[in-house]
Amino acid sequence: MSILSRYIAVTWLRLLALCQGSFVAVYLVLDMMDKIPRFIRAGGAGGDILRFFIWKLPEMIGQTASFSILMATLLTLGLFSRNSEIIAMRSCGISLLRIAFPMLFLGLTASFLLLLNAELVVPGSYERMEKVERVDIRKQGINAVFRRNNIWFHSDDMILQAHLFDPQAKVLRGITLWKLDGSMNPISRTDAESAEFHDGRWTLKEAVIKDFGQGRGYVTRRARSLDVALNLKLDDLRVLGNNADNLSFRKLKEYADNLQSGGYHAFRYLTMMHTKLSGPFAAFVMVILGIPFAFRNSRSGGTALGIGASIGIGFAYFVVNAMLLSYGSSGVLPPVVAAWGANIIFCLGGVWLAMTVKN
pLDDT digits (tens, 9 = 90+) for 37-75: 988 888 888 888 999 999 999 999 999 999 899 889 888
Rounded Cα gap, residues 8 and 102, in angstroms: 7
Q: Answer whether 248's CB lies under 8 Å from 277's CB.
A: no
Same domain, 131 and 149: no
Same domain, 226 and 274: no
- Band (pLDDT 50/70/90 cuts) for residue 130 is confident
Same domain, 95 and 161: no
Mean pLDDT of 294-301: 61
Number of separate domains in the chain? 2
Residues 6+ apart with CB under 8 A from 2: none
Mean pLDDT of 327-333: 89
Most confident of 118-132, 168-182, 243-257: 118-132
- φ, ψ of residue 94 in degrees (nearest 5): -85, 125
Q: Answer whether 182's CB lies under 8 Å from 190's CB.
A: no
* DSSP E strand stretches across the chain: 145-147, 150-155, 158-166, 171-180, 186-198, 201-211, 219-228
| Position 22 pLDDT exceeds 90 | yes
Find the angle CA(319)-CA(321)-CA(326) to the nearest 5 degrees.
Answer: 95
DSSP state of 45: -
Query: Cα-Cα-Cα-Cα dihedral of 78, 84, 89, 95, to 10°?
Result: 50
**How confident is the model at residue 55, as a pLDDT?**
93
Domain boundary among 231, 253, 278: 231
| Position 144 pLDDT exceeds 70 | no
In a domain, 317, yes or no: yes
Residues 6+ apart with CB under 8 A from 27: 60, 63, 64
Same domain, 17 and 81: yes
- Band (pLDDT 50/70/90 cuts) for residue 148 is very low
| Position 262 pLDDT exceeds 50 | yes
| Position 21 pLDDT exceeds 90 | yes
pTM, two decimal places: 0.72
CA terminus-to-terminus distance, the chain: 24
Rounded Cα gap, residues 317 and 150, in angstroms: 37
In a domain, 241, yes or no: no
Domain span at 323: 3-139+265-356
Rounded Cα gap, residues 161 and 263, in angstroms: 19
**How confident is the model at residue 132, as a pLDDT?**
86
- φ, ψ of residue 193 in degrees (nearest 5): -65, -40
| Position 228 pLDDT exceeds 60 | yes
Same domain, 166 and 310: no
Residue 24: name the closest of 74, 72, 64, 69 by CA: 64
Domain boundary among 171, 206, 231: 231
Burial bucket for residue 122 (CB in 10 Å: 0-12, 13-18, 19+): buried
Give the mean pLDDT of the chain: 82
| Position 143 pLDDT exceeds 90 | no
| Position 77 pLDDT exceeds 60 | yes
- Band (pLDDT 50/70/90 cuts) for residue 137 is confident
What is the percentage of the chain residues whose pLDDT exceeds 90? 27
